[in-house]
Structure 1
Amino acid sequence: MTQSLPNPLLSDWTGPFELPPFAAIAPADFRPAFERGIEEHRREIAAIVADPAAPDFDNTIAAFEASGRTLRRVSSVFFNLASADTSDALQAIEREIAPVLSRHYNAIYLDDDLFARVDAVFRRGVDGLTEEQARVLERYHTGFLRSGAGRPAETKARLAAISERLAVLGTTFGQNVLGDEKAWTLVIENEADLAGLPDFVVAAAAKTAEDRGLAGRWVITLSRSSIEPFLQFSTRRNLREQAFKAWAARGANGGASDNRAIIAETVALRAEKARLLGYASYADYRLSDAMAKSPEAAGALLRSVWEPARRRATEERAALQDLVQAEGGNFDLAPWDWRFYSERRRKAEFDLDESALKPFLSLDNIIAAAFDTATRLFGLSFTERPDLVLHHPDARAFEVKDADGSPVGLFIGDYFARPSKRSGAWMSAFRGQQKLVGDIRPIIINVMNFAKAADGEPTLLSFDEARTLFHEFGHGLHGLLSNVTYPSIAGTGVDRDFVEFPSQLYEHWLEQPEVLRRFAVHYRTGEPMPADLLARLTASRTFNQGFATVEYVASALVDLEMHILSSTEGFDSDTFEKKVLDEIGMPDAMVMRHRPAHFQHVFAGDGYSSAYYSYLWSEVLDADGFRAFKESGDPFDPAVAKRLRDFVYSAGNRRPPEEAYRGFRGRDPDPSALLEKRGLAAAPVAAE
């Protein structure tokens, strides 16, 4: 008789940093672990409801905060793996568990008896509570109300059914996009079809081919780090067209992976949910609990940027068309031409191209630059821990300590693209920070999709990729430096239109000359980036900003407009996309950064639904926020950095974001900083 081994997800994790025992975990372990976690959580909630003592903060709110530990632990491991290193087995579990988890949390947040206790504590007021406790109480009370607590039974039943269906749709949407990305490759057989591609693109394509059993050929994938350089440099216009159309059509190819019916059902269900909760639209519902407060405010910001960006993009398009004609091209600029001719224009105007920059931007050096910036700002130290067993051999772990040597947490970087990883870049946590049940230090992960170099060669980044690394590390610091008691308000658990502020702010340090001079060194010679190249890079900072701003703002406006709809009968995402883009005057030869059928921010879950504008809202904050350092005359000014840490990076959601920003900056943000940062502000008129 064989004795079954204990489930590693349910055992005590006693290894270094109490990391999950990745090597011991098998897909079959997750379903029973989820079932155990859900059952434990139910019992803990039932005990709170049955407590005969009068409801107070400790026996209701704090007890709620401390509940569900096993379920949170299992969920964090599972969903990190499902995003960063998935498999058919994990995807099947993901489809099964999505409605189960939705059902479980609906039952909690729609429980009248539990809400009655939360409401009783809330109505008693905040006397005797700390600032943090008062904030946690307000957030819980608001969360219950926004979930439908206290409403009639039939309304709650329908809200629960909607949430469960949306969980299924979001999971399917994301898996469909990944399926389309995995299914398509451009296999290059003839060396002549590599025309125009720099060595680093050719080498990455050869490595990808080798990894896929196609040694001796070259493979371009739909990973952004693969396809964007191909579109930038390939002189084979027919191949650029083929690749771009595949990229733009993800999730809209017909068949089982087509997401358009999912979008229509999702938009309809979200609108119905909003109506049931008393809101005019889903965007009204969603944004009422955000910094923007209303879709009108979010839309006003987007439109204030749209017109200057559109004018700039129209000028850029005309310049690129001139290049086409100057080179003898007898065609109108198309979307698959923009990046190619823009790269040529950048070379002509600034004597700057990606192939000249990349040798100075090795992945290891950019990681070191991000770490060094955190050291100079916040006193942190980073020590690599190659002894730790992680979720994938490519991942790297770094022990993080504070200036006094005390532990901060563990940082994991998972940098390379692979078929098992969804596209994009993100920050997540295997464990969040809290002090409610012990002093729990965080385990934070950054996930990227860079093209891995051939064995023995360093991975070289584009400047945009280096900026992405800094961006995600800014999120990472928001999780690592968290210093609050209650887990629900720790780290990045803030308003969606504030969460991008710490990450976008961190990007500014990559552009500082003192950072580039030290870390942008040639991967072969070790020589720093030449002063003239650095000057040309700095001068080109706002190059092509019309294009970059238009493709982003168009996506944000389509997202917002589709969630303002009160009637969704007959909704078709293709027709709606065209209608909105025609109304705002989308420039020719441009498409949205994220077309609806692969817009995972919005439809693979509801993280950014009606809230993709958040990046621009946060950019107002980051552009104005970095001015504080410029005004001090020192990009690492200790006093400004301390305020930044105290009120932003370590504060979680301890206070409303408007107060957090004022605590750091001393005033409200100045919106003019946004257009100035993007180079879209009108040039000042010279005095007579």
Structure 2
Amino acid sequence: MSILTTPFTTKYSAAPFSKIENKEYKDAFIQLIKDAKEEINTIINNPEPPTFENTVAALDFSGSQLDRVSSIFFNLNSAETSEEMQKIAQEVSPLLTEFSNDITLNEDLFKKIKLVYDNQDQANLTLEQKTLLDKKYKGFVRNGALLDAQQKTKLREIDTQLAKLKLTFGENVLAETNNYQLHITNESDLKGLPEGAKEAAAALAQSKSLEGWVFTLDFPSYLPFVTYVENRELRKEISIAAGKKAFQDNSYNNQNNIKEIVRLRHERANLLGYATHAHFVLEERMAQNPEKVTAFLNDMLEKAKPAARKEFEELTQFAKDLDGIDHLEKWDGAYYSEKLKQKLFNLDDEKLKPYFKLENVLQGAFTIAEKLYGITFKEVFDIDKYHPDVQTFEVLDFENNLVALFYTDFFPRKGKRNGAWMTSFKSQYIKDGVNERPHISNVCNFTPPTPTKPSLLTFNEVTTLFHEFGHGLHGMLANTTYPSLSGTSVYWDFVELPSQIMENWCYEPEALALFAKHYETGAIIPQEYVEKIKESASFLEGIATMRQLSFGLLDMAYHGKATPLNDVKSFEEKAFESTKLYPDVAENCMSTSFSHIFQGGYSSGYYSYKWAEVLDADAFAYFQEKGIFDKEVATKFKENVLSKGGTEHPMMLYKRFRGQEPKPDALLKRAGLIE
């Protein structure tokens, strides 16, 4: 018997990573799917009349070991993958999709759920139970329960194809990221590059048995290069390489995968009675429909565009005055933005980095969580890890009860995808009187330590850490009965509120004083730097806003209209028309590596970053009114947002916290887009 097929007997039933062998996964999945099917059959064959408890709640708690093993496997496939794991993923994904369809297309099970749904008025259900019942019923309907036999077969085929295409899309992006390196042997080519970035590139070259310096498309390597290196041709080379990931004439080209994913999503939506994939997705979002999303994006665009155009003209003029550059290109953007920022604010990341040692920043996030929510973090060494870089923490309340287990994994490596994310290895729920506490993980790709320096973060990396930690708190502080309503199981355009609000503390002197200390001297960050961080927070915000909106509009173009997609590149260009600032680069295509919408869960949902920014600015304005560590406001936020998960409609939760619906004014002011 595999260690994976029964509940874990470890401390806190933590995942026994070091004892799991890859070869066990496939058989374990097959066995656990079989076990979960038996649990479903028990629900179906129960001779008692269907009730909320024996049908809806029983279904929500079914397959718990399968859920755990799935979360372990797919989290590792993102953070610590290998060719062997990718092969297993391609084999087991269709099995899981088929199992999921076996449940939602099971007529006998749906009949029982429909009976409970139709008679809920007599059942005296709590608000949370009503929400779960509604979610389960809709889940069945939205996954084909009302279709005829032929349509159900078609739906299964589409879902299986989509599961495989999404995996392939991600694998192609990872392969293209790993396949590129810029090898430099002449030190003069690196003029302008900070010492820390140079040292990291030398260490990378050494690890590959090469002389000189190596740069890759991993963010901590790529970003300093395009931001600081004076050699424009080399910036151009690496920038074009980043922009043409999975858009080259090789086996990793994602254009056909995009066409197929978009076509199948549209076909699936039509099959279920929706006009487009976006209509299908947005029915279960705060924003409700594509028209409302497009109106929201265009409204923000109208407000941001004048500022963005003005900023772009200033940046262009600055590059011309400084270096005689006539036309600003994409590989010039980060470089001249940084130069202009230094000129205006006399502030650059290299000045700030010594104050942002990773360990101190993490401890700062912990201290802020303690002040706000009364929890403490204690590093422990008796919890199994999947990689030596991972750290594990017990999260405790003031009475020393376990709140959560927290894993952190902060540095890039070959088997880890780019970016930063929060995830969970075990959900929170209450069963048989026991409040099962969650196991939460934050995964990032920060600048690693070098032989002479600890990991020193850019300010952008500091806000990323706080962002993911905000998602983490949403998972850790969960306090709901049912697993599928717990933690971050909320409407997608609400899920970014807890993460984005946390970033605000990074700009507050009172918060920075807790952790922004020089790694060598221990001196607190100078007040003038803090003021400059705040001043520069809205620097080129118009351009940044346009960029975010362009991605949201591209997402809506793919998923919100029934437009035939013949050529990915020209389709993208058309979608970007209203937000375009830089000249197009013929060799590049953003869509082919747009993993958020083609691999992750953000299809028809990319707008939610901006949507949640409206929420977070409005919510943080409340903290600012009362004090950024005000216990009363923090408790309201914890009790009405962080702990409630998806147990109620998010607008109800938000209004209970804030006393009103969110207004965009706080965001527009913060971004410097209105007075």
TM-score surpassing 0.5? yes
| Selected match of 2:640 from 634, 638, 647 | 647
- Counterpart code for 2:351: A
Q: What's 1:447 paired with?
A: 443
Q: Deviations over 1:588-631 (max 9, x none)?
A: 258899921111110014x1101100111111110101111112
- Counterpart code for 2:617: A
The 5-angstrom pairing of residues 673-684 of structure 1 reads 673-681=666-674, 683=675
Contact 1:551-1:591 within 8 A present in 2 as well: no
Displacement of 1:324: 2.1
Separation in structure 2 between the aligned mates of residue 542 and residue 327 of structure 1, nearest angstrom: 23
Q: What's 1:469 paired with?
A: 465
Q: Deviations over 1:45-93 (max 9, x none)?
A: 1111111111101110111012102211210110011000000100000
Q: Deviations over 1:306-363 (max 9, x none)?
A: 1332222222222222222222334411000010001000011011111111111111
Query: Which stretch of the first structure deviates more once superposed, 321-330 or 403-412?
Result: 321-330
After superposition, the Cα gap between the structure-2 partners of 1:544 and 1:590, relative to the gap in structure 1 and judged at 3 Å, is: farther
After superposition, the Cα gap between the structure-2 partners of 1:591 and 1:659, relative to the gap in structure 1 and judged at 3 Å, is: farther
Contact 1:398-1:411 within 8 A present in 2 as well: yes
- Counterpart code for 2:648: R
- Counterpart code for 1:310: K
Q: What's 2:86 paired with?
A: 91
Displacement of 1:455: 3.6
| Selected match of 2:262 from 262, 267, 270 | 267
Contact 1:436-1:487 within 8 A present in 2 as well: no
Q: What's 2:617 paired with?
A: 623
Contact 1:555-1:595 within 8 A present in 2 as well: no
- Counterpart code for 2:471: H
Displacement of 1:29: 0.9
- Counterpart code for 1:611: G
Displacement of 1:573: 1.6
- Counterpart code for 2:514: R
- Counterpart code for 1:673: A
Q: What's 2:349 paired with?
A: 354
Contact 1:207-1:452 within 8 A present in 2 as well: no
Q: What's 2:100 paired with?
A: 105
TM-score normalised by length of structure 2: 0.97
- Counterpart code for 1:610: S
Unaligned runs of 5+ in 2: none
Contact 2:6-2:65 within 8 A present in 1 as well: no
Displacement of 1:187: 1.4
The 5-angstrom pairing of residues 580-595 of structure 1 reads 580-582=575-577, 584-589=578-583, 595=590
Are residues 1:418 and 2:413 paired? yes
Displacement of 1:15: 2.3
SS in 2 for 1:74: helix
Q: What's 1:3 paired with?
A: none
Separation in structure 2 between the aligned mates of residue 551 and residue 585 of structure 1, nearest angstrom: 7
Number of residue pairs the alignment of both structures matches? 672
Separation in structure 2 between the aligned mates of residue 273 and residue 442 of structure 1, nearest angstrom: 34
The 5-angstrom pairing of residues 226-625 of structure 1 reads 226-436=221-431, 438-455=434-451, 457-568=453-564, 570-582=565-577, 584-589=578-583, 595-605=590-600, 607-625=601-619
SS in 2 for 1:227: helix
Q: What's 2:58 paired with?
A: 63
Q: Deviations over 1:427-467 (max 9, x none)?
A: 00110101125421111000001121214631011111100
| Selected match of 2:140 from 132, 139, 144 | 144
SS in 2 for 1:428: strand
Separation in structure 1 between the aligned mates of residue 543 and residue 223 of structure 2, nearest angstrom: 14
RMSD of the TM alignment (CA)? 1.6
Displacement of 1:674: 2.1
Separation in structure 2 between the aligned mates of residue 12 and residue 483 of structure 1, nearest angstrom: 22
Separation in structure 1 between the aligned mates of residue 469 and residue 16 of structure 2, nearest angstrom: 25
Percent identical across equivalent pairs? Answer: 40
Q: What's 1:666 paired with?
A: 659
The 5-angstrom pairing of residues 217-232 of structure 1 reads 217-232=212-227
Separation in structure 1 between the aligned mates of residue 165 and residue 325 of structure 2, nearest angstrom: 45
Q: What's 1:24 paired with?
A: 19
SS in 2 for 1:382: strand
- Counterpart code for 2:183: V
- Counterpart code for 2:288: K
Contact 2:548-2:610 within 8 A present in 1 as well: no
Displacement of 1:575: 1.2
Are residues 1:202 and 2:198 paired? yes
Separation in structure 1 between the aligned mates of residue 621 and residue 322 of structure 2, nearest angstrom: 42
- Counterpart code for 2:582: D
Q: What's 2:164 paired with?
A: 168
Q: Deviations over 1:456-506 (max 9, x none)?
A: 631011111100000000000000000011000000000000000111011
Displacement of 1:132: 1.2
TM-score normalised by length of structure 1: 0.95
| Selected match of 1:188 from 179, 184, 187 | 184
Contact 2:269-2:275 within 8 A present in 1 as well: yes
Q: Deviations over 1:180-238 (max 9, x none)?
A: 00111111212111110011111221222233333x42121111222111111000111
Displacement of 1:266: 0.7
Query: Which stretch of the first structure deviates more once superposed, 518-527 or 308-317?
Result: 308-317
Separation in structure 1 between the aligned mates of residue 436 and residue 181 of structure 2, nearest angstrom: 44
Contact 1:551-1:590 within 8 A present in 2 as well: no
SS in 2 for 1:352: coil
Contact 1:13-1:21 within 8 A present in 2 as well: yes
Contact 1:40-1:70 within 8 A present in 2 as well: no
Displacement of 1:11: 4.5
Are residues 1:7 and 2:2 paired? yes
Contact 2:569-2:589 within 8 A present in 1 as well: no
After superposition, the Cα gap between the structure-2 partners of 1:200 and 1:160, relative to the gap in structure 1 and judged at 3 Å, is: same
Separation in structure 2 between the aligned mates of residue 591 and residue 523 of structure 1, nearest angstrom: 41
SS in 1 for 2:251: helix
Contact 1:555-1:594 within 8 A present in 2 as well: no
- Counterpart code for 1:674: L
Displacement of 1:297: 1.0
Q: What's 2:71 paired with?
A: 76
- Counterpart code for 2:642: Y
Contact 2:17-2:384 within 8 A present in 1 as well: yes
- Counterpart code for 2:580: M
Query: Which stretch of the first structure deviates more once superposed, 470-479 or 403-412?
Result: 403-412
Displacement of 1:550: 1.3
After superposition, the Cα gap between the structure-2 partners of 1:387 and 1:191, relative to the gap in structure 1 and judged at 3 Å, is: farther
Contact 2:640-2:653 within 8 A present in 1 as well: yes
Separation in structure 2 between the aligned mates of residue 181 and residue 83 of structure 1, nearest angstrom: 14
Q: What's 1:638 paired with?
A: 631
Displacement of 1:680: 1.2
Separation in structure 2 between the aligned mates of residue 586 and residue 67 of structure 1, nearest angstrom: 49
